[in-house]
Amino acid sequence: AADRPLGGVRLVVSAGGTREPIDPVRFIGNRSSGRQGVAIARAAAERGASVELVAANVESAVLEELDGAPEVRITPVGTAAELQAAMEAAAAAAAIVIMAAAVADYRPAGVSPGKIRKADHPDAPPTIELVQNPDILRGLVARRQPGQTIVGFAAETAESEEELLGLGRAKAERKGADLLVVNRVGWTEGFESVRNAVRVLDRSGEPVLRAEGSKREIAAALLDLLGR
């Protein structure tokens, strides 16, 4: 039906930001609120899709934005490794896979079993050795199911539109997703904010859409593009 353009379609979307533990009380994280991914989950459910939201440390106040929408299955995760496992499991049966979560590129090589204390480092600050996390999106692209559409996000700091599009193009080519949603982030833009401005690039890095507005409006514009 016209009001259920995604009826019968399975969609999985990740949202939020991973936290990589340093010790039992500390982590390396980022400022992603999960709002854009949650808005996509809601909009897709409203269009009839069967939606799984893989939520990386998304605050309950943000998840409440799903209230009143058709059911969305929520899988909470913490670390990049947990996010990867959840996405790979869900992607096996999904027609549309959207990686909106901000994933830590690195994690501490080891997690201290007890709290790191200043008293244990009297002479110099401790150092945290990092190891690289897998690129989840690239892994999903490598195992893409026949007919599956995969969407990535790229949050970039850029001085100009030209630089932003250049960074986006390089990332589109590197990741191999069908679409890459590029947005500018900084101290005052992007993360945590209710509004957003994005450029959507195709697999070769060509811009196919610009959208600006609330995260709900951006979600609608993106799903319109996917519905075509």
Q: Is 218 annotated as a binding residue?
A: no
The residues binding ligand C5P (CB under 6 A) are 80, 99, 101, 103, 105, 133, 135-137, 152-154, 171
Q: Is 191 annotated as a binding residue?
A: no
Among the listed residues 30, 57, 183, 196, the single catalytic one is 30
| Active site annotation includes 30 | yes
Provide the β-strand partners of residue 14: 54, 99
Residue 26 or 138: the one with the smaller Cβ distance to ligand C5P is: 138
Phi, psi of 172 (to 5 degrees): -60, -45
Q: Is 224 annotated as a binding residue?
A: no
Residue 58 or 137: the one with the smaller Cβ distance to ligand C5P is: 137
Residue 46 or 135: the one with the smaller Cβ distance to ligand C5P is: 135
**Closest among 157, 152, 108, 97 to 130, alpha carbons compared:** 108
Provide the β-strand partners of residue 96: 11, 149
Structure tokens at 53: 């939201």
Q: Is 105 annotated as a binding residue?
A: yes
> Which residues are annotated as part of the binding site for CTP?
105, 115, 134-137, 153, 171, 175
> Which residues are annotated as part of the binding site?
105, 115, 134-137, 153, 171, 175
Catalytic site positions: 30
